[in-house]
Amino acid sequence: MVKRGAFIVFEGLDRSGKSTQVARLVESLNQSGEKAVGCRFPDRTTTTGKMIDSYLAQKSELDDHAIHLLFSANRWERSQAILADLEAGTTVVCDRYAFSGIAFSAVKGLSYTWCQSPDIGLPLPDLVLFLELAPAAAALRGGFGNERYETSEVQIAVKDMFERIGSDVGSERWKVLDAGRDVDAVEKDVRGRVEELLKKVEGPVGKLWA
């Protein structure tokens, strides 16, 4: 039987280096002979993703509940493909996931448990690497863009919400990494934690919030 792949998620605030580390990890795993693919949420290429993209770009308005459900649907659309990759022995490295979904919606005042519910049963990550970066350090990486949520007020509120989510997920699965170090140092830390994980991944993929 093929050993299943690991499901690894990167979370963190704006400019914490998620996309950089996802790309580096996928490349280094493939170079060392481990099959790995990247994915990202929102996936702006699908029909729901195009609606999300328009909302984030502030070209359209949507009710807070409706956009939350679209972000969740965007993950469900991809969930069978993620499971298929994992079962085929490919590690999946994902840039944001359902934890961003809760964090950004709950800070707008939606109920935390309501925010969790549409994602119940999605593939459960084996490891969540939360890239922690002080807002002042993030600011040195360039100014905010023009997308919705790219303000310091939202980012600070979201950071607090991520702390609550991390404690609900539990410290076995949710690891906080100092993202204020240089890119190579963060990558080395990530790689060490992923090597530990790959030794112990076994059994069926779990279900989120189930």
Q: Which residues bind ligand Z5A (CB under 6 A)?
A: 12, 14-20, 41-42, 56, 71, 95-96, 100-101, 104, 141, 149-150, 179, 182-183, 186
User: How does DSSP classify residue 40?
Assistant: E
User: Which residue, 32 or 152, is less far from ligand Z5A as judged by CB?
Assistant: 152
User: Which residue, 100 or 116, is less far from ligand Z5A as judged by CB?
Assistant: 100
3-state secondary structure of 169: helix
Cβ at position 89, least distance to Mg ion in Å: 27
- The number of CA neighbours under 13 Å toward the Cβ of 87 is 9
What are the b/e assignments for 49-85, b being 16+ CB within 10 Å?
Answer: bebbbebbeeeeeeeeeebbbbbbbbbeebeeebbeb
Residue 147 one-letter amino acid: E
Residue with tokens 């993950």: 75
Question: Residues in the site for Mg ion, rule: CB under 5 A?
Answer: 18-19
User: How does DSSP classify residue 9?
Assistant: E
Cβ at position 100, least distance to ligand Z5A in Å: 4
User: Which residue, 47 or 87, is less far from ligand Z5A as judged by CB?
Assistant: 47
Angle between helices 47-56 and 64-87 (to 10 degrees): 130
Which residues neighbour 156 within 8 Å (Cβ) at sequence distance 6 or greater?
135
**Contacted by 41, from ligand Z5A, Mg ion, none: CB < 5 to 8 Å by type:** ligand Z5A
Cβ at position 166, least distance to ligand Z5A in Å: 16
**Contacted by 78, from Mg ion, ligand Z5A, none: CB < 5 to 8 Å by type:** none
User: How does DSSP classify residue 151?
Assistant: S
User: Which residue, 45 or 200, is less far from ligand Z5A as judged by CB?
Assistant: 45
User: Which residue, 4 or 15, is less far from ligand Z5A as judged by CB?
Assistant: 15
**Contacted by 49, from Mg ion, ligand Z5A, none: CB < 5 to 8 Å by type:** none
Cβ at position 195, least distance to Mg ion in Å: 24
Cβ at position 113, least distance to Mg ion in Å: 28
**Contacted by 169, from Mg ion, ligand Z5A, none: CB < 5 to 8 Å by type:** none
In this structure, the number of other CB atoms found within 10 A of the CB of residue 14 comes to: 20
